[in-house]
Structure 1
């Protein structure tokens, strides 16, 4: 890939040009500049922009994404592990909700409270990932 102007880079990343300018303002993506002062998006800058976009889609804020750049591997690992844990907890909750809704499609009880299966879904005893971390800190 050759060096691109901001509009072409924004198109590849799937964002508007003002988004790339904002990312530069907050320090998560600082592309090199040409001799005339224009932003130049080389392969590295476009790759970084795509990673930033993926991180945003995963729910990371720009401040968190900025924290991923420093060389402090321990802080980076903690940030990633905590965020991944929240995502996995959300996935577990969505899967449980999916199973509950699937059951509701075939449930023949007039009231949900009369159905032992529905009551079982409502009384899920598994602690969430957040609850597990809180318990671990309390010990």
Structure 2
């Protein structure tokens, strides 16, 4: 399953066409400006500077921000995201991605098992699901125990 992050971006600005202020950029992504400043301080972003040193974000920065947000959704730490951005050796980037892929796959499997347990509870006709043999069996299987008799 492939998910696409779509942004409807109109990068117009009176100061410099093709660039946006930190406030405009933060609003576009539903972030607080301090988040973009933090990402800059840890080496994830390098916005250009306009008059008086004000940060300006162009289309390449918007793409980077979208990648950072997706990576964070996948559970990748900011340090690892930065390492992937600056990695000169594709092997380093691949190793980081493989490690995070394995972790994400494990979390997805755990979430799927939890969803199945909830679906079982919702479909249960017992007044108290904890007394339902099918529910007890699913819980026991989840934690590696024999179901109660």
Q: What range is the shorter-chain TM-score in?
A: 0.7 to 0.9
CA distance in 2, matches of 1:38, 1:99: 50
C-alpha deviation, 1:85, in angstroms: 1.3
* Structure-1 residue corresponding to 2:111: 94
The superposition leaves residues 68-112 of structure 1 with CA deviations (integer Å, 9 ceiling, x where unpaired) of 111221111111111111111111112122222322342659785
CA distance in 1, matches of 2:117, 2:130: 11
The structure with the largest helix share of the pair is 1
Could you state the TM-score of these two structures normalised by the residue count of structure 1?
A: 0.75
The superposition leaves residues 33-71 of structure 1 with CA deviations (integer Å, 9 ceiling, x where unpaired) of 125422111111121112112211221111111011112
- Classify 1:4/1:119 alpha carbon distance in 2 versus 1 (closer, same or farther; 3 Å): same
Indicate the structure whose relative CO is greater, using CA pairs within 8 Å and at least 6 residues apart. Answer: 1
Corresponding position: 1:63 with 2:99: no
Structure 1 stretches (4+) deviating beyond 4 angstroms?
A: 107-114
Could you state the TM-score of these two structures normalised by the residue count of structure 2?
A: 0.70
Contact 2:48 2:55 in 1 (8 A): yes
Number of aligned residue pairs: 126
* Structure-2 residue corresponding to 1:77: 94
Q: The residue matched to 2:49 in structure 1 has which SS?
A: coil
- Classify 1:118/1:109 alpha carbon distance in 2 versus 1 (closer, same or farther; 3 Å): farther
Given candidates 102, 120, 126, the residue that maps to 1:103 is 120
* Structure-1 residue corresponding to 2:133: 115
Corresponding position: 1:33 with 2:49: yes
Contact 1:100 1:118 in 2 (8 A): no
Please report the RMSD computed on the Cα atoms of aligned residues, expressed in angstroms.
2.6
* Structure-2 residue corresponding to 1:134: none
Contact 2:84 2:93 in 1 (8 A): yes
